Amino acid sequence: MRSCLWRMIPMKTNKLKSYLKNERGSGTLLIMVGMVLAAIFFGLLFFDFSNVFINKRVTQTGADAAAIAAAKTANDYMKDELQTKTQEELDNLGEEWEKFLEEALGDLEEEEEGEEDGDEGEETPPPDPPSTEELLDLFVDMKETVMGKSMPGDVRAWLLNHSVSVKALTAMKFFFDDEEVNEMSCKVVREHLGDAREEAEEYAEKNQNDHVTEFTFIPEDFRIYVETDRSGKYTTVPDKEVPAVTSESSAKIGDPEGYTISCS
């Protein structure tokens, strides 16, 4: 009996050792699996954080592009309007000069005819009529007195020869004062804010942004403010539970050379 018990003791000891060995292996395996799962989770979490920063950079690029595009569009409309108004004034000045010249030459002809009728017996030759240049000087002096400023040389030359090139800026300064330029600029920009917004939306989409969420004209700074957003895609949370990433930017429309435009 005692010998049987002694035989059973080594057998049970071996089974216990085997069991403990298997338990240690299973625990190690669980730890390793847990570490792998944790690494995967943190990897996905890091990937989502990276997506947030990438989306932020993309939205900022889109907001900058949208603001610049909107400001450029507004500036283009402003330049076209100022150039058109300046050309209209230049054309009006040309018509005034032609009318002045025609009337002056007509008066001279009448004077010459009157002198011929009254002085048939006299041999004194009549004085030479004024030249076109002299008449132009008279016309320019008259306009400068009315407008209170000197006429640019290229504008004066254009009156004699319409093929002469006129600098738009110098002509605009002659025809309009600073306040008039300011008013025209503000008016045309406000009238075309819709076009500027369309351009902003187009460039936001080109730069992978979803929407232009805010578009504001800042009149006192003559600037356009834009805010855009972009929805991201994530792996650890549902996409809809994460708010869209937003970015903002602004760009100055740009003043005509020599002017500071403010629409406040």
HEC profile of 182-207? HHHHHHHHHHCHHHHHHHHHHHHHHC
pLDDT of the residue at 84: 97
Residues pairing with 218 in the sheet = 223
Comparing C-alpha atoms, which of 33, 78, 88, 49 is closest to residue 192?
78
Please state, as a whole number, how many other Cβ atoms lie within 10 Å of the Cβ of residue 181: 22
pLDDT of the residue at 82: 97
pLDDT of the residue at 5: 42
Tell me the domain boundaries of the chain.
Answer: 55-113+130-252
Q: Which residues of the chain have pLDDT under 70?
A: 1-54, 107-127, 232-243
pLDDT of the residue at 207: 92
Cβ atoms of 225 and 214 closer than 8 Å: yes
Please state, as a whole number, how many other Cβ atoms lie within 10 Å of the Cβ of residue 87: 15
Question: Which uninterrupted H or E stretch holds 85?
Answer: helix 2-118
pLDDT of the residue at 6: 43
pLDDT tens profile 205-234: 999 898 999 999 999 999 999 999 988 665
pLDDT of the residue at 113: 57
Euclidean distance between CA atoms 93 and 55, whole angstroms: 57
Q: CA 234 from chain center: how many Å?
A: 33
